[in-house]
Amino acid sequence: MSAPTCVCCGEAVLDTDQRAPSHAQPIHYECGLRAAAGSVGHQQRKCSCYGGTEEDPPGLTRRQAAIAAALYFQLGSVPADFLNRPPNEP
């Protein structure tokens, strides 16, 4: 049986992935947090909402962008080693 697909990023939600609490559809925790808190650019007030042009760090998949947004929300920054990882690594 295949894993359900996250409604935000389209990637599989594995049994080992943390899921957003109290959500009827499958969604990764980080994807749910990004949906509520916004992209890294939004949290930094550098997106179009604030007159800027930044959203997600360039070169990331939707899932990686959600993880980056969750890291920024929790830590106030995104570690440089995270931004330099290959696209196939969450």
In a domain, 90, yes or no: no
Q: Please say whether the beta carbons of 43 and 50 come within 8 A.
A: no
Q: What is the mean pLDDT of the chain?
A: 89
Question: What's the pTM?
Answer: 0.84
Q: Which domain holds residue 77?
A: 1-84
CA 2 to centroid of chain Cα atoms: 22
Query: Average pLDDT of 67-89?
Result: 83
- Domain tally, the chain: 1
Task: Determine the 3-state secondary structure of 67 from DSSP.
Answer: helix
Is 43 inside a domain boundary?
yes
Q: Are 31 and 63 in contact (CB under 8 A)?
A: yes
Distance CA 59, CA 37 (A): 21
For the chain, the first-to-last Cα distance in angstroms comes to 22
Q: Widest CA span of the chain, in angstroms?
A: 46
| 89 within a domain of the structure (yes/no) | no
